[in-house]
Amino acid sequence: MKTHMTAKNIVLGVCGGIAAYKSVELLRLLKKQGASVRVIMTQNARAFVGPLTFEALSGQAVCTGLFEKGEDASIRHIDWAQASDAVVIAPATANIIGKLAGGIADDALSTFILAVISPVIICPSMNIHMYESKAVQRNLEILRADGYSILNPESGELACGTTGPGRLPEPEVIMDRLLYCLAPKDLIGKQVIVTAGPTQEPIDPVRFISNPSSGKMGYAIARAAAQRGGTVTLITGPTNLPDPTGVTMMRVRTAREMAKAVFDQIDESHIIIKTAAVSDFRPHKEASQKIKKEEDEMTLLLKKNPDILKEVGRRKKNDHILVGFAAETEDLGKNAGKKLAEKNLEIIVGNLVDHPQYGFGSDFNKVTFFYKDGTKEPLAPMEKDAVAHILLDRIVERYLEASNTL
Ligand code: PMT
């Protein structure tokens, strides 16, 4: 699986804070995405996590001091700084923030950072009063003005017993910021609408018709489009997923609510990607009270829902790029091709949804892109995040670059 993290040189700076354990998980995620990771630890960080843990997971020597013995330690920080594609400091303590704001270079990490020319993400994590202190806020302002990317801490219960901002964001959130720094910014200025998840069509106040869509595919596309600089609105049916970073969320329940939300936004949008698994039918009538099980059998009369994608295809203007998904259990090519033509799409992403490892609910998908010109492109099975970026690559290459609208 190739992502924008694959083969990238990432340097992970770890400072002395209770959240240092989370940087171990961050390192694992980075390695999983194919990055080469080097770790620099401050002296205090070693009180929380041992260098051996980072060494074993990264497969590379960990730098813990400017003048440690062995290798070419004294110039290592310059080599690493020049080779890095991005740097993340997590957790970043008040101490390192103060040093970087003041240009102080008195240990391996602070010296290294002064020599870095790639993007640097600083993830402050500390006690709420320390974080809100005038000195730390002033130093963060200086770092922002100097071009560092600051990932604000989350609010919550802190290790010191207080509650408020100061908690290191989860490793997945830090990864999102890193991917944002590394992804090409080829969707800047583009309004992107993505739909995701299932719809629920109520039968009565406690029952509904739905399907197993988890929203993962659509959320991955929204996240990837935001990482590439797009202005993204995610219109989603009910899911249990966290909001993707940097995306405007619109939550709906039924197909008709989703239709209204999409139609309201067509005119302002450039790219519409309809990943949602919309219920084709809804109960003819929603019972106002819970239906009692008095009979052995019951007939539910259904009514067709609006075909949102077809209507968008009918209304779209020449410069709109419209992408649909086709969830099939047989004849993928024939069925997807029919939907591509009927719904007036640029691309339809076909997936067979009768496989336990792909499609509904899984983190992976196995898809084929069918293009308007009759060509098709089958992809190997891969994570939905990777499918999302390849789909956006194709949209950019085939439609945005071709029409010079970038
Ligand atoms: O959410 P996940 O668990 O990650 O699973 C991902 C997925 C399997 C849901 C996704 O990859 C997928 O296939 N989405 C499309 C599901 C679907 O409804 O397919 P369809 O073949 O029934 O519909 C074709 C297209 O028309 C889709 O783009 C759909 O959004 C759209 N449609 C369908 C019916 C309707 N009334 N209105 C629509 O807009």
324 lines ligand 1 (CB under 6 A): yes
Residue (of 202, 360, 195) closest to 281 by Cα position: 202
Residues 147 and 264 both lie in one domain: no
Residues 24 and 146 both lie in one domain: yes
Show the tokens assigned to 102. Answer: 């003041």
Structural domain of 40: 9-182
Q: What atom in ligand 1 is closest to the CA of residue 239?
A: 1
The CATH number of the domain where 109 resides is what?
Answer: 3.40.50.1950
Distance 276 CA to ligand 1 centre (A): 5
The CATH number of the domain where 281 resides is what?
Answer: 3.40.50.10300
282 lines ligand 1 (CB under 6 A): no
Residues 145 and 207 both lie in one domain: no
Residues 275 and 335 both lie in one domain: yes
Percent of the chain with pLDDT over 70: 97
- Measure the N-to-C terminal CA separation of the chain; round to a whole number of Å: 27
Mean pLDDT of 156-177: 88
Q: What atom in ligand 1 is closest to the CA of residue 305?
A: 36
Residues 196 and 112 both lie in one domain: no
Q: Is residue 101 part of a domain?
A: yes
Task: Indicate if the pLDDT at residue 406 is higher than 50.
Answer: no
Q: What atom in ligand 1 is closest to the CA of residue 309?
A: 39
Domain edge (last residue) among 182, 201, 232 = 182
Residues 201, 283 contacting (CB under 8 angstroms): yes
Distance 327 CA to ligand 1 centre (A): 6
Q: Is residue 355 part of a domain?
A: yes
350 lines ligand 1 (CB under 6 A): no
Mean pLDDT of 64-72: 71
Structural domain count, the chain: 2
Kindly report the protein residue whose alpha carbon is nearest to atom 31 of ligand 1. Answer: 309
Kindly report the protein residue whose alpha carbon is nearest to atom 18 of ligand 1. Answer: 277
Residues 219, 234 contacting (CB under 8 angstroms): yes
Distance 256 CA to ligand 1 centre (A): 15
pLDDT tens string 326-361: 999 999 999 999 999 999 999 999 999 988 899 999
Residues 245 and 358 both lie in one domain: yes
HEC sequence for 45-70: HHHCCCHHHHHHHHCCCCECCCCCCC
Kindly report the protein residue whose alpha carbon is nearest to atom 13 of ligand 1. Answer: 327
Q: Is residue 327 part of a domain?
A: yes
More confident residue, 307 or 399: 307
pTM of the model: 0.86
351 lines ligand 1 (CB under 6 A): yes
Kindly report the protein residue whose alpha carbon is nearest to atom 14 of ligand 1. Answer: 275
Domain edge (last residue) among 182, 206, 221 = 182
359 lines ligand 1 (CB under 6 A): yes
Distance 68 CA to ligand 1 centre (A): 57
Domain edge (last residue) among 182, 213, 234 = 182
Distance 252 CA to ligand 1 centre (A): 15
16 lines ligand 1 (CB under 6 A): no
Task: Indicate if the pLDDT at residue 71 is higher than 70.
Answer: no
Partner residues linked to 27 by β-bridges: none
Q: Is residue 279 part of a domain?
A: yes
Residues 170 and 133 both lie in one domain: yes
Q: What atom in ligand 1 is closest to the CA of residue 220?
A: 4
Residues 86, 8 contacting (CB under 8 angstroms): yes
Q: Is residue 378 part of a domain?
A: yes
Distance 99 CA to ligand 1 centre (A): 51
* Mean pLDDT of the residues in the chain: 93
339 lines ligand 1 (CB under 6 A): yes
- Which pLDDT belongs to residue 343? 97
Distance 268 CA to ligand 1 centre (A): 23
Task: Indicate if the pLDDT at residue 70 is higher than 60.
Answer: no
Q: What atom in ligand 1 is closest to the CA of residue 195?
A: 30
Residues 30 and 80 both lie in one domain: yes
Show the tokens assigned to 311. Answer: 């209507």
Residues 117 and 266 both lie in one domain: no
Q: Is residue 4 part of a domain?
A: no
Kindly report the protein residue whose alpha carbon is nearest to atom 23 of ligand 1. Answer: 326
Instruction: Tell me if residue 123 is catalytic.
Output: no
326 lines ligand 1 (CB under 6 A): yes
Residues 233, 192 contacting (CB under 8 angstroms): yes
Task: Indicate if the pLDDT at residue 136 is higher than 60.
Answer: yes
pLDDT tens string 303-316: 999 999 999 999 99
Exposed, middle or buried by CB within 10 Å (0-12, 13-18, 19+), for 154? middle
Q: Best substitution site from 325, 330, 346, 382 to test ligand 1's pocket, by max atoms within 8 Å of Cβ?
A: 325
Residue (of 120, 114, 50, 66) closest to 92 by Cα position: 120
Residues 140 and 118 both lie in one domain: yes
Distance 234 CA to ligand 1 centre (A): 15
Angle at 366 between CA 196 and CA 214, to 5 degrees: 30
Residues 219 and 306 both lie in one domain: yes
Percent of the chain with pLDDT over 90: 85
Q: Is residue 1 part of a domain?
A: no
283: part of which helix (H) or strand (E)?
strand 281-283
Residues 218 and 178 both lie in one domain: no
Q: What atom in ligand 1 is closest to the CA of residue 339?
A: 24
Mean pLDDT of 144-166: 88
Q: Is residue 230 part of a domain?
A: yes
